[in-house]
Amino acid sequence: MYEIENLKNIPDNARVTSELAEKTVEKIINALTVKKGISETVAVALIAGLVQNGGTNKGAGNSAKFTLVDQTLSAQELVNYIKKEQLTKIQEKIEEFQKMTMGFQNKL
């Protein structure tokens, strides 16, 4: 059985998909607002500004940043939020699969 703990070993160069579900985007914005103590409007403005500054380039890392008043968001920071949310989604799917497998085994 695949252990959820192994998911923590996802390499840093893991590819982030360019398509995100609406719920995932909401969770990313929420995480950003909580972490930085900002409003959703400021979070969206930071993301939009970062994207305009080339923050979606493959190797942008911390070199691409956007600052709005006193808040800064780097490309690497945004990628980390996205990866964390995608990892959570994968973990939920694995847990669901494990529950189904256990239920099937119990019926045998």
Backbone angles phi, psi at 52, to 5 degrees: -65, -30
Confidence of residue 60 (pLDDT cuts 50, 70, 90): low
How confident is the model at residue 39, as a pLDDT? 93
User: Tokens in use for 10?
Assistant: 């996802």
Confidence of residue 23 (pLDDT cuts 50, 70, 90): confident
Question: Does any domain span residue 70?
Answer: yes
Q: How far apart are CA 105 and CA 85, in angstroms?
A: 30
Q: How far apart are CA 25 and CA 79, in angstroms?
A: 12
Question: Does any domain span residue 15?
Answer: no
Number of domains forming the structure of the chain: 1
Question: Does any domain span residue 8?
Answer: no
Question: Does any domain span residue 37?
Answer: yes
Question: Does any domain span residue 10?
Answer: no
Q: What's the pLDDT tens digit per position in 69-98?
A: 899 998 888 888 888 887 887 888 888 888
Confidence of residue 1 (pLDDT cuts 50, 70, 90): very low
How confident is the model at residue 40, as a pLDDT? 93
**Domain extent at residue 82:** 20-107
Question: Does any domain span residue 54?
Answer: yes
